[in-house]
């Protein structure tokens, strides 16, 4: 009972972060499930089945608040679904955990690029994504990483859309979250075919769904209230924080060193955001 309550609370927190920052539901929830001794395939299956419901509510909320850019959605959702299905089928039969450090290293670099970008500019970005041909392979890779890593659609896709100046952070987050419904549905079908329904802990799926659904509308509303430059910086530091942790765990960095690194990233993020906010007030 207490385990399921913990899973539900984690679903609420993870969706609050994911819906407002465009990433981290899968990473956060999968990390907890692995900590609770679920195997990687079962953990990823639980997360994606729960995300079918949470991403549907999140998508509707983002649509309502005008956070979705439909040309971009069309280019990333279907390839993402294909990548998610392939990744789910492979993870059901193979251990792909060795690829996580490489993915985390790439994402950490992209996070630093995002931070540098939004420190320098005020993030007045126009939506030009309809003509971007690389969005199709981006969706394919994002869906594959998401299914095999138990999360990653948001970090890969939101990061790429933001760092390339294709969309405003608000639009990048809303579009990525809405497309995630299609990706999660496809990956869930892959897991059901690869693992079988009897191998999936449905009580944990339900617990994640309850927590995530409660947080989704609140997260979509928060996106419309946060300044775009601040949002871009928070997304960047969140990416660096998450992937610093993942790389440290992958390479067995001592816990004392790990927590020191995470604290330094968090402090740097707070100082940067506070500095930008103060500069903005002086301009006005």
**What does the domain layout of the chain look like in residue ranges?**
2-283
Q: What is the distance between the alpha carbons of residues 40 and 195, in angstroms, rounded to a whole number?
A: 12
Give the three-class secondary structure for 134.
coil
Residue whose C-alpha is closest to residue 44's, from 136, 153, 175, 178? 153
Report the pLDDT averaged over residues 177-186. Answer: 90
Residue whose C-alpha is closest to residue 182's, from 77, 272, 264? 77
Q: Please tell me the predicted confidence (pLDDT) of residue 80.
A: 94
Give the least confident one: 43-47, 92-96, 105-109, 211-215. 92-96
Give the least confident one: 13-27, 60-74, 179-193, 225-239. 13-27
Which two three-digit tokens encode residue 109?
Answer: 């670099």
Q: Please tell me the predicted confidence (pLDDT) of residue 210.
A: 87
Judged against a pLDDT cut of 70, whether residue 26 lies above it is answered with: yes
Report the pLDDT averaged over residues 253-270. Answer: 91
Judged against a pLDDT cut of 60, whether residue 232 lies above it is answered with: yes
Q: What is the distance between the alpha carbons of residues 284 and 281, in angstroms, rounded to a whole number?
A: 5
Percent of the chain whose predicted confidence (pLDDT) is above 70: 78
- Considering 87-91, 96-100, 174-178, 275-279, the range whose residues carry the highest mean pLDDT is 174-178
Please provide the average confidence, as pLDDT, over all residues in the chain.
Answer: 78
Sequence-separated (6 or more) residues with CB below 8 Å from residue 217: 57, 61
Report the pLDDT averaged over residues 145-165. Answer: 77
Residue whose C-alpha is closest to residue 43's, from 108, 82, 83, 97? 97
Tell me: the pLDDT tens digits for 3-24? 677 778 777 877 776 666 666 6
Whole-number Cα distances in Å, 122 to 125, 126, 133:
9, 12, 26
Q: Three-class SS string for 138-192?
A: HHHHHHHHHHHHCCCHHHHHHHHHHHCCCCCHHHHHHHHHHHHHHHHHHHHHHHH
pTM value > 0.95: no
Report the pLDDT averaged over residues 54-61. Answer: 82
Q: Please tell me the predicted confidence (pLDDT) of residue 79.
A: 94
Q: What is the distance between the alpha carbons of residues 108 and 114, in angstroms, rounded to a whole number?
A: 10
Report the pLDDT averaged over residues 74-88. Answer: 92
Confidence grade of residue 126 (pLDDT, cut at 50, 70, 90): very low
Judged against a pLDDT cut of 90, whether residue 82 lies above it is answered with: yes
Judged against a pLDDT cut of 90, whether residue 268 lies above it is answered with: yes
Whole-number Cα distances in Å, 184 to 64, 123, 130, 280, 282:
21, 30, 23, 39, 44
Report the pLDDT averaged over residues 135-151. Answer: 84
Q: Please tell me the predicted confidence (pLDDT) of residue 123.
A: 44
Q: What are phi and psi of 37, to 5 degrees?
A: 80, 15
Sign of the Cα torsion 18, 22, 23, 26 reads positive
């Amino acid at each position: 009972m207490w385990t399921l309550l913990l899973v539900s609370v984690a679903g609420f927190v993870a969706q609050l972060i994911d819906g407002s920052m465009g990433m981290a539901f899968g990473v956060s929830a999968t990390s907890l499930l692995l900590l609770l001794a679920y195997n990687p395939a079962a953990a990823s299956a639980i997360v994606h089945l729960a995300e079918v419901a949470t991403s549907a509510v999140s998508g509707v909320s983002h649509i309502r608040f005008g956070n979705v850019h439909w040309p971009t959605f069309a280019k990333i959702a279907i390839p993402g679904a294909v990548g998610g299905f392939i990744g789910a089928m492979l993870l059901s039969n193979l251990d792909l955990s060795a690829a996580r450090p490489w993915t985390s290293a790439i994402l950490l670099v992209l996070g630093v690029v995002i931070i540098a970008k939004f420190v320098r500019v005020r993030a007045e970005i126009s939506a030009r994504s309809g003509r971007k041909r690389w969005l199709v392979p981006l969706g394919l890779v994002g869906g594959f990483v998401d299914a095999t890593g138990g999360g990653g659609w948001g970090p890969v896709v939101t990061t790429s859309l933001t760092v390339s100046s294709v969309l405003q952070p608000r639009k990048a987050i809303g579009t990525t979250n809405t497309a995630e419904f299609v990706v999660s549905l496809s990956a869930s079908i892959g897991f059901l075919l690869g693992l079988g329904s009897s191998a999936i802990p449905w009580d944990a799926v339900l617990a994640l769904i309850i927590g995530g659904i409660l947080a989704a509308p609140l997260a979509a509303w928060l996106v419309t209230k946060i300044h775009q430059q601040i949002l871009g910086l928070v997304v960047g530091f969140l990416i660096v924080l998450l992937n610093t942790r993942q790389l440290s765990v992958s390479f067995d960095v001592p816990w004392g060193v790990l927590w020191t690194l995470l604290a330094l990233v968090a402090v740097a993020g707070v100082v940067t955001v506070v500095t930008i906010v103060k500069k903005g007030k002086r301009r006005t």
